[in-house]
A and B are shown apart, each in its own frame.
Chain A
């Protein structure tokens, strides 16, 4: 079973502050995704990264994929109360044959609360 560690588990900040969430594995990802989930709803995809060193931006959110494809980070600039939610990273891994599994492995999630 591939393990995926996400940190921190909880984050409580004031509006306007910056924050970073980390996602790490001992195995190489074939792809990595970040999801956001609001209470009572299913996760919604924010971004997918597949290339080592890749950086993607989505408004105030910046996603990085490590050069070795074993880690990723989500950075939020000037957080707003609307950013409050559960953030999940999820990865697919190569199997022994070198092809990508279809199965996603999720991190434990980061509960972000942004206070006005």
Chain B
């Protein structure tokens, strides 16, 4: 099992450009989510999905879009990149377990917007 994979590992964008961060998992997990991590702020939830065709907003959704057409894939789209979106982005997946929602994280994508 590869677990949760993310591509690319590093990316530099100019302000106004768009791009898609890829995330895939091979554990047949229903729940997938995207977080951003900034110094001193832990991880903040951007969007999440409880299954194919179902997505919802997290704590900081503005400027990001998601879709979930398959169980395995959950791409994150930046519509018009801004310097405030410079961050490290993590994708995570888990089973839909009512007691815990233990999450498995990918290795992250480090994004810089100039």
Q: Which residues of A contact B (CB under 8 A)?
A: 1, 6, 9, 30-31, 33, 40-45, 48, 50, 88, 90, 92, 99-100, 102-109
**A50, B59: Cα distance in complex, Å:** 23
- Closest A residue, CB atoms, query B110: A40
Q: Which residues of B contact A (CB under 8 A)?
A: 4, 31, 33, 35, 40-45, 48, 50, 58-59, 90, 92, 94, 96, 98-108
CB-contact partner of B100 in A6, A33, A88, under 8 A = A33
The answer to whether A106 touches B43, judged by C-beta atoms less than 8 angstroms apart, is yes
Task: Pick from B100, B105, B107 the residue with the most CB of A within 10 Å.
Answer: B100
The answer to whether A41 touches B100, judged by C-beta atoms less than 8 angstroms apart, is no
Which residues in A have their C-beta under 8 angstroms from that of B105?
42-44
What is the distance, in angstroms, from B19's C-beta to the closest C-beta of chain A?
Answer: 20
CB-contact partner of A42 in B44, B94, B108, under 8 A = B108
**A40, B105: Cα distance in complex, Å:** 12
Which residues in B have their C-beta under 8 angstroms from that of A42?
4, 90, 92, 105-108
CB-contact partner of B103 in A41, A99, A104, A108, under 8 A = A104
Which residues in A have their C-beta under 8 angstroms from that of B103?
33, 43, 45, 90, 104
Which residues in B have their C-beta under 8 angstroms from that of A45?
102-104
What is the distance, in angstroms, from A107's C-beta to the closest C-beta of chain B?
Answer: 5
Which residues in A have their C-beta under 8 angstroms from that of B92?
42
- Closest B residue, CB atoms, query A101: B101
The answer to whether B108 touches A100, judged by C-beta atoms less than 8 angstroms apart, is no
Which residues in B have their C-beta under 8 angstroms from that of A100?
98-99, 101
- Closest A residue, CB atoms, query B30: A102
Which residues in B have their C-beta under 8 angstroms from that of A44?
105
The answer to whether A48 touches B50, judged by C-beta atoms less than 8 angstroms apart, is no
14 contacts between A and B (CB under 8 A): A30-B99, A33-B102, A41-B108, A42-B4, A42-B92, A43-B103, A88-B42, A92-B101, A100-B101, A102-B101, A104-B33, A104-B43, A105-B59, A106-B44
The answer to whether A107 touches B42, judged by C-beta atoms less than 8 angstroms apart, is yes
